[in-house]
Amino acid sequence: MALTRSLSAMVLTLLFLTALPVITKADTITLVATLSGANEVPPKNVTGAGAATVTLDTVTGKGTITVGFSGLTGAFTGGHIHCCAAPTANAGVIVPFDAFITPSANGTAGALANYAFTLTATQLAGMLSGQAYVNIHTAANPGGEIRGQLIPVNAVPEPGTLLLLGAGLASVAGKLRKRRK
């Protein structure tokens, strides 16, 4: 009888832990963007490129951005997160970070690490729905030279992780059963 209770408790625990990632709400999400002239509206024929990563707390609206770029046609003049518009449209600035970019000697490359910002509820909703983008500006392209739409990265645990957890719990249950015999 005690063995049946222990085994039942293990099975219920396993089911709960397996379902847990499905029923919890993520508080932190990561968004990434690949910056290029082809993503500009209208598209630009330039060789510059870059990447950006945004980490965002979906409860507080606080976030950080890390961005790097190179190969611009001229010196960097501005950098921002824009929101809220479809990927084929332009939108207003919600996070200006140009004053904090560390540029290269000639200004055609630059980087920024973990710049902190806070969004309003409307901006947060727009960013989470794919309506935000990172834009890097130059004198030759004041409306933006390279741009990238911020896309959420899948933060849900992989099925392999859950299977590994299940195998570990099954192993523990087996050891407990052998110990009681």
Say what the alpha-carbon torsion angle 71, 74, 77, 78 is, to the nearest 10 degrees: -30
* pLDDT computed for residue 27 by the predictor: 87
Residue closest to 10 by CA, chosen among 127, 149, 157, 176: 176
Per-residue pLDDT at 14: 46
Q: Is the pTM value of this prediction over 0.85?
A: no
Nearest in space to 35 (alpha carbons), one of 112, 115, 123, 125: 112
**H helices within 29-129, ranges in order?**
121-128
Residues 102-120 pLDDT 10s: 999 999 999 999 999 999 9
Domain extents in the chain: 27-155
Res. 93: pLDDT tops 80: yes
pLDDT in tens, 131-159: 999 999 999 999 999 999 999 997 555 55
Tell me, what's the pLDDT at 11? 47
State the pLDDT confidence band at 7, using cuts at 50, 70 and 90. very low
The per-residue pLDDT for 12 is 44
Top CATH class of 27-155 equals mainly beta
Q: Nearest 5°: phi and psi at 144?
A: 135, 130
Measured from the Cβ of residue 42, the count of other Cβ atoms closer than 10 Å reads: 7
Other beta carbons less than 10 A from residue 112's beta carbon: 20
User: What percent of the chain is predicted at pLDDT more than 90?
Assistant: 69
